[in-house]
Each structure stands twice: as structure tokens, then as C-alpha cells.
Structure 1
Amino acid sequence: MKLLIAIHIDSREMSDRNIPSGLLQSLDERSRQIFREIVETYLQTGEPVGSRTLSKSGIGLSPASIRNVMSDLTDLGLLDSPHISAGRMPTHVGLRLFVDGFLEMGEPTEADRAEIEDRLRANGRDMQGVLKEASSLLSGLAGGAGLVSSPTRERPVRHVEFVPLATGEALCILVDEAGDVENRLVKIPPGLPATTLIEAGNYLAARMKGRTLREAAQAVREEISERRAQLDQAATSLVEQGLAEWGGEVPGEERALIVHGRANLLADTQAAEDMEQVRQLFDILERQQSMLDVLDSTREAEGVRLFIGSENRLFPLSGSSLIVAPYMNASRQVIGALGVIGPTRLNYARVIPMVDYTARMVGQILGERQNSWKSERE
């Protein structure tokens, strides 16, 4: 059974790709066969593919005939050669044509599905844990860097509380007006009275109710800094930890970019131009807001988004591909996105379904926890 994944394309992106209309239909069967063989071999090896290699692959043509077709494909802008005497490799236009016209995708393997679900459920006892584990497992399974954007938090807050745990920690619970639940773990000192947890929770609840997290966090921080908060030192520490966990360390900044697997981007990187591309990619990953803007641009997509090279104007790096899918809450509303970034020779047939499946599992698990919390309080 094949998995149908919608790779959303808008008109602006199509114009950026410079893919002539009807290009795929203009290729005869021989050209299609050779083009597909070159791209598939390149994605497996990362090396340019020569005519002699193709002639030994059972394609049934002489090296001379293959070279003629490769020359035609190069003239069409689908192939390129790093050196005069080297083989051919697909251009970004060629990769896009291959993905859109030739790539067949199925569900992830049973082993991959089991690993994704088991790791998300075992290592994510709160929302932040689920998102961190999603980034980590995507990095490991896909061979690139795993990216996850934390959920948007623009709806007014309905409920806040601190729940003590038996591990020297407390669970800081936030619920918005749509019923979405977000949990954060905070450290508490040994022997902290339960009344301090109640005091901190009541203080936040009174100031957050009806406000967005951004509005409430700013007001609470100002009140604490001006010593207008009627809290003891322990309760103040709890409140500050809760705000830091929900909103990041930068005051007013509600979003976070979770990245795992940067080291994977260095694998098989030898040429100077490859190292320069990796350096640029590291710089972009450090500019979290830039990457969050890219991930947020996928929120209206009906499925997985694939950006090859600089197809997305927010992501100008030409030597990388970005595969992204949105994840949803229990109300089927998109609240964030996750994906993989890596070299253009990513194994698209494997990575695209894995990103899609991971996004679905993250949404399912977060939805289950949201519904469980609601049931416990009804």
C-alpha cells in the first residue's frame, strides 16, 4: 500500500524552480530511464554517475548512447557535471523533477514505525519531552539534523497549577481556552511545603487567566522585578522557573527551535565547498528565528513540504534540502512543525514518509495527553 503524501507547491515556489511546463512529458522512455537511474544512484552514493557505470547496470545501452542522452539531459538543466571528465549529478531542478515525477513513497517500514512510536511514548512524559525526542529520533533515522518548533501559544490561558512529584520535581501545568495542555518539569528543593506550590499556582492563575502567555509572562516578570509580587522566595523561584520553561530564557520569546544531530551534517563532508555549505547551515541553525519562520511557513500545507536548495526564499542555502510537516493538537489545529534538514542527496523515499509519520504520532500522543487531562478533571 502506497502512502499518498501531499507535497504542497505554491505558485511563487513554482516560478522560483524554473521548471518548464511539460518537461517531464517531453522526455522519451530512454531519457526517463537514464535520468532516473542517475538520480537514484547519486542519492545512494553521493557521487557523480558516469556512462560506463550506467552501461553495467543492465540499462541495455552502450556508453556512447548513454553519453548522448546525458548530454541532452544536461542541456535541459536536469543534470550537471562538477568537472569536465566527471560523471553527471542531478541539479536542484532535476531533483525536484525526480521527486515530483518519479519518486514512489510508501509507509515507513514496520521497524521504523515501531521505533518512532516506542521512543516518543517512552521518553516523552511531557510535551517538551515528546518534542525533544521527535527531534532526536528524526536525526538518527534520517541521517540529517532533526528540527522541531515548539507550539505556538497565542490563545488565552485558562488554568495554571503546580503538581508535586516524588522525584524532587513538580509538574507545571498550563491549559489554554481551547483545552490544549502543556506540561513542564521544574526543580523543587527537598521538603518544600505543598502550600508553596499552591501559592505559586494561584498567583500565576490569577494573573494569566484570560491573557495570552506572552501578555501574562511580561506582566508577571515586571511585577516580580519591581517587588510588587506578594510571594516568598520559594514561591517566586517556582513562578520564574515556570515562565522560563514555558517561554524560553529570553523574556517575551515564546517559541523555541529544538535541533538534534548537527554532527550528521558533517558526515561525508570532504570538499572545501561542502564544508562551506555546512558552515552556512550551522549559522542558519543558530539563528533560531529564521528557522522558525521557515517552519511556520509550512503551517497551511496539507501534508509534507519539501524545499530543495533555495526554493524557499526564507531559506537561501543552495546545498541543502528541508523536509517539514506540521503537527496538530487534539482539535486538529496546527500548533507546530517538525522535519529534517540535510544534504540534497537525502534518501527522500525514506525520509519523507518518516517525517510525515512522526508528525502524526506527535499529534496523536499530545492529543491523548490533552484528553486524559480533561477526563481527570471532569
Structure 2
Amino acid sequence: MSIHSQRPLVDERLQGLAQLDQRSRDIFRRLVETYLDTGEPVGSRTISRILPSSLSPASVRNVMMDLEETGLIYSPHTSAGRMPTNAGLRFFVDALLEVGSISPEERARIDAQMTGANRSRRIEEVLGEATTLLSGLSHCAGLVMAPKLNARLKHIEFVSLSPGRGLVILVAEDGTVENRAIDLPPGLPPSSLIKASNYLSARMQGKTIGELQRHMHDEIATLKTELDELTAKVVADGVATWSGNAEEDDRTLIVKGQGNLIENLTAFDDLERIRRLFDDLENKKGLIQLLGSAEIGEGVRIFIGAENKLFSMSGSSLIVAPYRNSEEKIVGALGIIGPTRMNYARIIPMVDYTARIIGRLIT
């Protein structure tokens, strides 16, 4: 499993982090791990008790002061304890986090639930099941992005709605049904809709909508030869209606488990942050662009806090992984979003494994 950061550590204050001595690394690691577990500031006395070596609270406090100067940790309010900054969390994830394998129990639950979800269900339902499953296992919000109507096509039909308006109905091999309204040429006879349906149905079997669009582009001369002008226009318009705004129309976004984000509130969180996060989750365009970035490279990607503008106000983290179809082509991404203090070591392999399972279920 490969893990990719959202960006390298470029802040000048953090250039020397790789040269931290072992004592500083151990104290910083214990502080972050304790914070991720409790969600509360961590004091020097707590660190002193859990360190494997004997080190006084005063010595730990001196190291923590040095770590604070580097920008790795900070003291919230007037508390004597320290918490990691976003830069500190990034350094922890990039340099110190030990990511293991998914637990046997979680693996078995994902296998059982996803295999069951694949029986006699459309791909959207499978993806929805995966999103709900990730949300439940992580106690965060689960989300998934998939190409809209990416399945192989089975049937197309043109239906008249009213004079000058019609409906294009697409049925995929997996049972998915999509429909779009189109304008019909004035004076179009009902027989033209039947001709248009038959013409496309004979040429679309087993193709995706993208492949059908490319095929029709190559057959434009045949289209004009075999069909009358009005019917040819219906066919062209019917196929073109699926090539509109790619950002809005070509992606399906599923978000489940937002209620978990409220349950994760601690004394140092507030409802305003959650409200902003809910606003972010409603921003379909922004989320689609963010998830789309996971399709650029291999492996799991991690976005922490203000590293991404979409979550800059809500201070949330996103762990996301791409998934592939049977042809090993990346076709979507799934992951979870939650507080920056999430259990990265546990959730990263969980997201990665679920993405791999999804890939096996997609034909």
C-alpha cells in the first residue's frame, strides 16, 4: 500500500524536522498518539509516564518547548498541555506514522458486507453500501465519487413529452437507468423517435456512453446517409446531451454518515466548525475536484486541515483512495472525512482495502 501526501513540507520552519534527534521524535510521537486517542492537549507529565525511558516532566517540557518553536505543536488557550498543529500532523503522517494492515475483524466485515451488497444490486447501490460501511467502521463521514453511467449500455429509447420536447432514456447492463430531456425538431413525426431508438440500440450494445459518443462521431456520415434529416438530428442531440458539464454531470457523489461528525466533538471542537464542514460537504463541485485529485496517482492520499482550501475553515482531514475497474483503469475514488485527530493508522489501510474490494466488484 502506497501513501501520498497532499504536498511536501515546504514551510521554512519545518526544513530541519528530518534532523530531529531521537528523543524529540519519541516525545513528539507520544504526544500526537495521545492527542489522537483523547482529543485533548497533552501535558509533559503524561508524556513522562508513558515514555519507555526514564525522563522527568521538566526534561519533557523543555523538548516540547523546542517542538513548539519549530511549529509542530502549540498550546491552545491557557492550557499547559500541547496539541499538534496541522504541520505537525502532516509530519507525523509522513515521517513517523506506522501504518499496519487492516484487522482480521474489519477485513471480514468488509468482505461479508460488500460481497452481499453485490448480489443483484446496481453499482450505485454497491458504492452506497461501501460508503455507509466506511462511515460505520471509521465513525466519520464516508464518501465516494464514481463516473455517472459508466456501465456498459443495453438499451436506449426516445419518448415524446410534449410538442418540441422529448426524453432520452438510457438503460445500462447493470440495471442503471438515466434520462435526460431534449428539444425535438418542429414537425417531427412519432415514427422518427422509433427510428432513432432502433438506430442507436443497434450500435450501442456493450459500449459506455463515452464510447458511444466517440463511435457516433466517427459515423456521422453514415448517420446522415441512413436517416432522414430530422431523425438524424434527434440521434445526434440524444447522444450529445450526455456530454454537457463534465464537472456536474459526469460524476456521482455519495456522502454518508455526517451525523458521526457531531459525535466526534470534544471540548476543543465547536459546532461552528461542524457547520462549516457540513457546508463543505454540500459543495459538490469542490468535493468532486478534491476527490478527482486522488485519481492522478497511485495509493492512498491524505489531506490535512488547511492543506486544502475546501476544508480550510472547518479543520478536517480527508483520507481517499482510487478504485479501478476490471481493466485496471481508475474510475473513481472513495474515502472518509473527519476531524484532524482521526486514527490515521487504522483508517488508512481500511480505506485502501475497501477501494481494492470495490475494484473487484466492478466489471
TM-score of the superposed pair, with normalisation by structure 1 = 0.72
Task: Answer yes or no: is the 8 Å Cα contact 2:43–2:81 preserved in 1.
Answer: yes
Match of 2:34 in 1: 41
Q: What residue is the counterpart of 1:184 in the other structure?
A: 176
Q: Which amino acid aligns with 2:306?
A: S
Q: Tell me which of 351, 370, 376 is aligned to 2:347.
A: 351
TM-superposed CA distance for 1:332, in Å, is 0.5
Describe how 1:253-264 pairs up with structure 2 within 5 A.
Answer: 253-264=249-260
Aligned to 2:143: 147
Structure 1: runs of 5+ lacking an equivalent: 163-171, 175-180, 187-197, 217-227, 230-239, 241-245, 371-378
Asked if 1:106 corresponds to 2:104, the answer is no
* Equivalent residue number for residue 122 of structure 1: 116
Is the partner of 1:52 in helix, strand or coil?
helix
Instruction: Note closer, same or farther for the CA distance 1:158–1:117 as it changes in structure 2 (3 Å cut).
Output: closer
Query: Which residue of 2 is the match for residue 362 of structure 1?
Result: 358
1:279 aligns with 2:271: no
Q: Name 2:47's counterpart in structure 1.
A: 54
1:42 maps to amino acid = Y
Q: Is the 8 A contact 2:154 2:201 kept in 1?
A: yes
Q: Contact conserved, 2:149 with 2:176, CA < 8 A, in 1?
A: no
Aligned ranges 1:218-297 → 2 under 5 Å: 253-269=249-265, 274-297=270-293
Structure 2 distance, partners of 1:337, 1:80, is 34
Offset of 1:300 from its aligned partner? 1.4
Secondary structure at 1:338 match in 2: strand
Deviation at 1:117, TM superposition (A): 1.6
Change (3 A) 1:158 1:201: farther
**Whole-angstrom distance in 1 between the partners of 2:197 and 2:261:** 43
Would the alpha carbon gap of residues 211 and 339 (structure 1) be closer, same or farther in structure 2, given more than 3 Å must change? closer
The answer (yes or no) to whether the contact 1:139–1:146 under 8 Å persists in 2 is yes
Q: Which residue of 2 aligns with 1:212?
A: 210
Deviates most, 54-63 or 287-296: 54-63
Aligned counterparts of 1:74 and 1:214: Cα–Cα separation in 2: 58
Query: C-alpha distance in 2, partners of 1:339/1:119?
Result: 17
Residue aligned with 2:147, SS: coil
Mapped contact 2:280–2:310 kept (Cα < 8 A): no
Contact 1:148/1:338 (8 A) holds in 2: yes
Q: Which amino acid aligns with 1:115?
A: R
Q: Deviations over 1:338-364 (max 9, x none)?
A: 000000011000000000000000001
Q: TM-score, normalised to structure 2's length?
A: 0.75
The residue aligned with 2:295 is 299
Displacement of 1:253 after TM fit?
1.9
User: Is the contact between residue 160 and residue 201 of structure 1 (CA under 8 Å) also seen in structure 2?
Assistant: no
**Residues 359 and 55 of structure 1, relative CA distance in 2, 3 Å threshold:** same
Aligned-residue Cα RMSD (Å) equals 3.8
The structure-2 alpha-carbon separation of the partners of 1:211 and 1:112, relative to structure 1 and needing over 3 Å to count, comes to closer
Q: Residues 309 and 318 of structure 1 are in contact (CA less than 8 Å); yes or no, is this contact kept in structure 2?
A: yes
Per-residue deviation at 1:33? 1.1
Q: Amino acid of the residue matched to residue 115 of structure 2?
A: R
Distance 2:82 2:30 in 1: 11
Q: Distance in 2 between matches of 1:279 and 1:324?
A: 22
Structure 1 residue 213 displacement after superposition: 8.6
Distance 1:120 1:329 in 2: 16
Query: Structure 1 residues 315 and 354 mapped into 2: Cα distance closer, same or farther (>3 Å)?
Result: same
Partners of 1:207 and 1:338 in 2: CA distance: 33
Q: Could you say which residue in structure 2 is the equivalent of 1:167?
A: none
Q: Distance in 2 between matches of 1:200 and 1:322?
A: 45
Rounded Cα–Cα distance in structure 1 between residues aligned with 2:155 and 2:128: 23
Deviation at 1:15, TM superposition (A): 5.9
Give the aligned residue type for 2:77. Answer: H
- Whole-Å separation in 2 of the counterparts to 1:57 and 1:272: 23
Distance in 1 (alpha carbons) for counterparts of 2:110 and 2:39: 27
Alpha-carbon distance change, 265 to 75 in structure 1, aligned in 2, over 3 angstroms:
same
Say whether the 8 Å CA contact 1:160–1:202 is kept in structure 2: no
